[in-house]
A and B are shown apart, each in its own frame.
Chain A
Amino acid sequence: MTNWRLWLGIISTSLILFIAVFGPLLAPYEKDYVEPTGYYYNGPDDFGVHSSPYPPSKEHLLGTDEWGYDILTLLLYGAKYTVFVGIGVAFFRIAIGGSLGIWFGLSGKEKKKTGTIFGLLGSIPAFLIIYFLLIRITINSPLSILELILVQSLLMVVVGFPGVYSAIYSKTIELNKELYITATKALGSSKLRILGKHIFPHLKGTLLAMFVKEIILVLTLIGQLGIFNLFLGGSILRLGGPPVYISISRDWAGLIGQWRSFIYDYQWILYFPLLAFVLLLFSFYMLSRGIELRQKATMQKYPHI
C-alpha cells in the first residue's frame, strides 16, 4: 500500500511553501488597496449605497474586511510570517532540545522520578509566560516587524525546547540500554561513534516526526497569542471608541485574532482566515501522519490479542 498520507502531506506542504514565498506576487491587489465606499444609480428603482465589508464576489474572491481591504490579498501577504516562523521556531526547538537531549542522555543515568512540583509549572501555560513577557513590547511597538518577530521567535524557542529535550533524553536513555550499545561499548567505541553510528540513525525518524509535530504546536501557540491580541510582528492598538487591535504583518493567526468577533454577522471575514489556518495545520498533520506510519512500518510490534 502506498503511503498516500505522506504524499498528500508533501504536496500540500509544498503548495503552502509556494504560497508563502510567492504570495505577494499572486495577490490580486496591492497590500494597502482599500475598496472605496460609494453609491450607485442605475435608474429610479435601482440605486443605493455600497460599502464595506463586501461579501465574496468576482472582484473580491474572499470578500473584504470591515474597512474594505481584500481578504485574499491580506492572506497572501501574511502567509510568509505564519509559515516561516512556525517552521523556524520548530527547527530551533528540535536542534537545541534534540542535541542536548542526546548528549545528556548518553552520559546520563536512569531518569529521575519527576517530582510533583515540576508539574506545577503546568499550571502556568506557555502562552501566558510569553504573554507577560511580550505585552509591553508587542502592542504599539517602536520595534520594527523583523526585530519583533525575532524576539517573539526567540521566546517561543525558549519555552518549547525543554519539552523536546526531555522526550529525546528519555528516548536516548531507553536506546542506551539496548544490548548492541553495551556490546559496542565493550568493544571500546567512543561516545561520538555510538552517537553517530547507533543513536542518531535510530532517532532520525523520531526527530523528523517531532519536527513536524512541533510546527503544529508552534502554530497553535502563535494562534493563542493572537487570540489575546499579541500578533506576530506587532499589533496596532487604536483607541477612541472601542479598542481595535490590528495586525501589522497580517499573519494568519493575527487576522483570526483581529477578526474573531465576526461570528454573528459578515462571517466570511472570520471564516476564510480560519479556513486557511486549518488547511495549514491539515497539511502539516498529514505530513506527520505519513512520517509516523512509515516509522511504524519499519519498527513494528504485534499485539497478542
Chain B
Amino acid sequence: MRIVFSIAGLITFIFLLAAVPLSINIIDDNLTLSFKTMAELIKNYATGLLNGDSFTYQEGKNRTYNLIHDIASYLFTSLRYLLLAGFLSVIIGLLISAWYSKSKKEWMKDTIGFLGTIPDFILVIFLQLGVVSIYQSTGFRLARVASRSADENAYLLPLITLTLIPAIYLIRTLSERTYDVLSEDYILTAKAKGLKKRVIYINHVIRNVLPFLKADLHKVLAIMMSNLFIVEYLFNIRGITAMLFGGTMYQYNLIVNTLFALVFLYLIVYWSIRLLILLLERVFAHD
C-alpha cells in the first residue's frame, strides 16, 4: 500500500515540477503561480497519451520527432557511464575502506576527505584544465576534454569524475562502519581463538559491513545522479540529461518523459548494483 502511495506521489511530483517553469509569472514584482496553467498542461499531457502526441518532441521550428524512438540511445549512453562508474566505486570503496578505517595516517584522511568535499564541477574543470595544460606544454593528448559527437565520446575524464566522488563517499562512510565492527565483541572472540587477521576480515568484517553498503546505496546513487548532470553537461555527452537542457524551447511533455526516464535509469542502476552486492554476499556471507 505504501509503495502505491509513494509511486503516485513521485508521479505527481514530476508532473508538478515540470509544470512550474511555465506557470510562474512575475507581474509588477509579484510572483504568481498559475494553477490553471498547470492543470491545463497536465490535461494536455494526459490526452496526448491517447493519441501519441505526448511522445513526440520538437526540434527547431516545425520538425517533430518520435521520442520513444530516439530516447533509447540517450538512455544507453548514460547507463553505460553510470554502470561502469557504479561498479568501480563500490569495489574501490569496499577495498579501501578496510584499510582506511585502521590507518593512523591522518594526513591521508585529510587528503581523501578534502578530495571528497571538492564539488563535481570543480573536479571536472580542473581535470579539463590539467589535460589542456599537459597538451600545451608537451603536445601529448592525454584524454578527450569533451565529446565532439555521439560517436566520439570522452570516456576517461567523465569516468574518473563519476567514480571518484561516490567512491570517496563510500570510503568515508564504510570506514566508519568498519571501525565500529572492528570494536565489536565477536571480533575480540575471533582474535582470542587465534584466527588470522585475513580470515577475520573475510569471514566477519566484510559480511557485517555489506548491510550498511546496501542501506547507503540510495545515497550513493543520488550523488551519482547529481554528478551525471554536471558531467554530461560539462563534457558535452549526449546522455539523458542532455534532453533536459539541450532544447531551444521548453517542451512540457519532453521534460516529463525525460524525468520518468531518469527514474527508470535510476532503478536499473540501483538493481544492477544490488545484484553485485548479492554476488559479494554469496562470496563473503554464505552459510
Identify the A interface with B (CB < 8 A).
Answer: 5, 114-129, 132-133, 135-137, 141-143, 147, 151, 216, 219-220, 223-224, 227-228, 256, 260, 263-264, 267, 270-271, 274, 277-278, 281-282, 284-285, 289, 293, 301-305
A304→B102 CA distance, assembly (Å) = 11
Digitize B197-220: 1 where CB-to-A-CB distance is under 8 Å, 0 elsewhere.
100100000000000000001110
Tell whether A278 pairs with B230 under 8 Å between CB atoms, given A124-B259, A142-B29, A289-B110. Answer: no
15 A–B contact pairs at CB < 8 A?
Answer: A114-B218, A115-B2, A122-B225, A123-B262, A124-B259, A124-B263, A125-B225, A136-B20, A136-B24, A137-B31, A141-B26, A142-B29, A143-B31, A147-B29, A281-B118
A263→B134 CA distance, assembly (Å) = 12
Tell whether A120 pairs with B10 under 8 Å between CB atoms, given A125-B229, A256-B125, A263-B129. Answer: yes
Q: Does B128 contact A (CB under 8 A)?
A: yes
Inter-chain contact B219/A303, CB cutoff 8 Å: no
Q: Does B245 contact A (CB under 8 A)?
A: yes
Min Cβ gap A155→B in Å is 11
Query: What are the residues of chain B within 8 A of A115 when measuring CB–CB?
Result: 2-3, 6
Inter-chain contact A274/B122, CB cutoff 8 Å: yes
User: What is the interface of chain B mostly: helix, strand, loop, or mixed?
Assistant: helix
Query: What are the residues of chain B within 8 A of A277 when measuring CB–CB?
Result: 122
Tell whether A132 pairs with B179 under 8 Å between CB atoms, given A143-B26, A305-B197. Answer: no
Q: Which of A119, A124, A274 contacts B218 (CB 8 A)?
A: A119
Query: What are the residues of chain A within 8 A of B18 when measuring CB–CB?
Result: 132
> Which residue of chain B has its CB nearest to the CB of A123?
B266
A219→B113 CA distance, assembly (Å) = 16
Tell whether A128 pairs with B234 under 8 Å between CB atoms, given A142-B29, A263-B129. Answer: no
A256→B18 CA distance, assembly (Å) = 27
Inter-chain contact B17/A129, CB cutoff 8 Å: yes
Interface residues on chain B, number (Cβ under 8 Å): 66
Query: What are the residues of chain A within 8 A of B120 when measuring CB–CB?
Result: 220, 224
Inter-chain contact B121/A224, CB cutoff 8 Å: yes
A285→B234 CA distance, assembly (Å) = 25
Tell whether A304 pairs with B182 under 8 Å between CB atoms, given A117-B10, A135-B21, A227-B233. Answer: yes
Query: What are the residues of chain A within 8 A of B221 when measuring CB–CB?
Result: 119, 122-123
> Which residue of chain A has its CB nearest to the CB of B221?
A122
Tell whether A303 pairs with B222 under 8 Å between CB atoms, given A124-B259, A128-B229. Answer: no
A115→B133 CA distance, assembly (Å) = 47
